[in-house]
Amino acid sequence: MSRLKDRIALVTGSGNGIGKATAQLFAAEGAHVHLADLDFAAADATAAVIREQGGNATAHATDVTQGQDVTALLRAIHAAHGKLDILVNNAGLNVRADFRHLTDAEWVKVREVNLDAVVRLARDGFEMLKASGRGSLINVASIMGSRAMRQLVAYSATKGAVAALTRGLAVEYAPYNIRVNTISPGFVQTALTKRVLRNPAIMDALVAETALRRLGETVEIARAVLFFASDDSSYCTGSELVVDGGMSASL
């Protein structure tokens, strides 16, 4: 498989979950993958596995909410390759709380990870994506960006903003041959959802609301990200691909 042969990819939040699965799939398809995560040990372990399997991967300790970390990350990639073909903004955070009890600090943290970091990387990574000549910027949002659930208001608000941001960037970046698209996953078993999904009542309710009657697997989301990263989606920009097992359709 070589849909991404010799391409340079950056995946944030790639130590675990969807980001990890995406990095592994990209590498299997021929990309040199840069894994950026606050949990460097997790990203480094994933990079090591990729290299053991014959792929190319580099891990970076990165807090995407810190401008200096993002600058250092992009400079390292530029020094190594001079361009960036694929940027996947995957890092995410959720704070479960009734909105009336949400603290300023909690709101700021969710916004900084889910939205501000996407803005920063999309803006600061522009020149390297432009240098690619066929750049692909993929923002991982959520079906919660267009629907509501109790205690997820802050998360939903930021993910809805990511989808809107993606549409605007698609128009602005199109003259530079940079495609910008959104993946909106449904409920997938990851570290981010582990706390809520260990409640059997919540798990059963979510499965019942999903047409396929199961939750998603991280690799299933990664395959959708691969579609937008590859030339298979060469005429797609400003698009949102919902990967939720039919949850949106069944409500």
For 194-250, write each residue's pLDDT tens digit: 666 777 777 888 888 889 999 999 999 999 999 999 999 999 999 999 999 998 887
Structure tokens at 25: 């799939």
Find the angle CA(79)-CA(17)-CA(133) to the nearest 5 degrees.
Answer: 35
> Which CATH number does the domain housing residue 126 bear?
3.40.50.720
In a domain, 205, yes or no: no
In a domain, 93, yes or no: yes
Query: According to the model, what pLDDT value does residue 144 have?
Result: 82
Which residues are known catalytic residues? 155
Cα of first residue to Cα of last residue in the chain, in angstroms, is 37
CA dist list (Å): 104 to 36, 107, 108, 144, 148: 27, 5, 6, 21, 21
Q: What is the pLDDT of residues 100-126, one digit of tens each?
A: 899 999 999 999 999 999 999 999 999
Q: What is the pLDDT of residues 149-203, one digit of tens each?
A: 777 899 999 999 999 999 999 999 999 999 999 999 998 987 767 666 777 777 8
In a domain, 251, yes or no: no
Cα(243)–Cα(197) distance, rounded to whole angstroms?
18
In a domain, 200, yes or no: no
- Structure pTM? 0.95
**Cα–Cα nearest to 18, from 215, 240, 249:** 215
Length of the chain: 251
Q: Which residues contact 179 (CB under 8 A, 6 or more apart)?
A: 135, 136, 137, 170, 173, 228, 233, 234, 236, 237
In a domain, 199, yes or no: no
Structural domains in the chain (count): 1
**Cα–Cα nearest to 46, from 242, 218, 216, 225:** 218
Q: What is the pLDDT of residues 15-49, one digit of tens each?
A: 999 999 999 999 999 999 999 999 999 999 999 99
Cα(244)–Cα(183) distance, rounded to whole angstroms?
10
In a domain, 210, yes or no: no
Looking at the predicted structure, is the pLDDT value of residue 251 above 70?
Answer: no
Query: According to the model, what pLDDT value does residue 167 have?
Result: 98
Its domain, for residue 239, covers: 8-188+217-243
**Cα–Cα nearest to 30, from 10, 4, 65, 9:** 4
- Tell the burial category of 148 from Cβ atoms under 10 Å away from its Cβ (0-12, 13-18, 19+): exposed
In a domain, 101, yes or no: yes
Query: According to the model, what pLDDT value does residue 185 have?
Result: 96
Q: Pick 146 or 219 by higher pLDDT.
A: 219
Query: According to the model, what pLDDT value does residue 131 have?
Result: 98
In a domain, 99, yes or no: yes
